[in-house]
Every structure is written in C-alpha cells, then in structure tokens.
Amino acid sequence: MTEVGGTDRAPIVQPRVLMVVAERGTSGRIAQAEEELPSWLSDARTHASSDAAPVVSVVHFSATPQVTPQVTTNAAASLPCLRTWELVDRLDRVEVVHVCRPATPAGELAVLAAKVLKKRLVVSDLAVRDSTLGVSVGMLDLADVLICDSALEAELYGRHPGIRVLDGDDPVLELHSIYADLFRTTRVEAGRKDG
C-alpha cells in the first residue's frame, strides 16, 4: 500500500491497481489494440480524482502458445514490456487487478495468476471471446466485478453478482470508485482477521 498524508489528519491509503490488457489471438500477433479499446482504459491511469485516487498501472500481456508466455509491449501505447514472471511480481505488488479481455489465452492466464495471488479482480471482456476455455469453466464467476459498457452487455452475464455498468458522465471516476470499494473490502477483511 502507498500511504500519503500530513500529520494533522488520518493517513490516506491509496489502492494500487494493475490493469492487464490481454493481447488478442493465439498466433502471437500483436493486436492493433489501441483502436479497439475504450477511452476509459487509456485514461484510467492518468486520472486523479483525489489524494486517495487509485494508483493505476497498465501493462499488455501476451500468452502465445509457447513455454514461457510473455508480457509484450503495445508499441502504440508505449506500455511496459514485461516477462510473465515479472507480471506475477507486478500482480503481487497491487491490491486490485483489472483484466481486460479475459476471454483470451493471455487473459485466462492473467485471471488465474491474480486469483492464485488472492487479488481483488475486475474484468472487462470488451466483447472479445478468442478463447472459450476459461469461460466454459466459470472463469468470470471468479471476478469480484464485471465491468460492462452498457446495460445490453450486462444482460449477457445473467446473474453475476458483481456487474457494474459504466454509463455515467465520468467512467474513469466510476472505475476508480469500484477499485476503491474493492480495496476497502480487502482492508476490512484484513482488519477482521488481525483483530
């Protein structure tokens, strides 16, 4: 956790969020991702609504069918280029993980890594279903929150208890609020355990 704040007030704790944008496809091609992604995704890391706003990092992740899947860079977005185990390290350093395009081989791996590390999980499928493997075994049920861009999209997910539709004027603020809620829940649980 990153703690900030002055001496005359209670410390403010900022949730740390890693947004993992899974590369599409299984053939190792680097997708032209930028034009396919919603604006809130690229804005999420720069938006600072308050001192307690989440600290959001974004990485791209590719899981081509090879021995060691890789996090690769999206050249257009100049995002960091990481190896898979570096992704695990990065996941380990945040409280909330947001996987975009989970229904891809890379997305499935990212969801799995996040859950093994007991992270709060947000997913946005962005209408991509390159792989049905994870969805077929209930992968989306592992998400705490499932982000949809519209009510129509939300209907696709039936009774998932964590559906949130980004339909307000400021989707980034909504997103940050979701992260903060998850972070708070984590802290409450941790406090209950410690107490």
Interaction between residue 127 and other proteins (CB under 8 A): no
* Residues in 63-82 at the binding interface with other proteins, rule: CB under 8 A: 65-67, 69
Interaction between residue 188 and other proteins (CB under 8 A): no
- From the CB of 102, what's the least distance to other proteins, in Å? 10
- From the CB of 68, what's the least distance to other proteins, in Å? 8
* Residues in 147-186 at the binding interface with other proteins, rule: CB under 8 A: none
- From the CB of 12, what's the least distance to other proteins, in Å? 28
Contact 35, 74 (CB under 8 A): no
Contact residues for other proteins (CB under 8 A)? 65-67, 69, 85, 88, 92, 105, 108-109, 111-112, 115-118, 133-134, 136-139, 141-142, 193
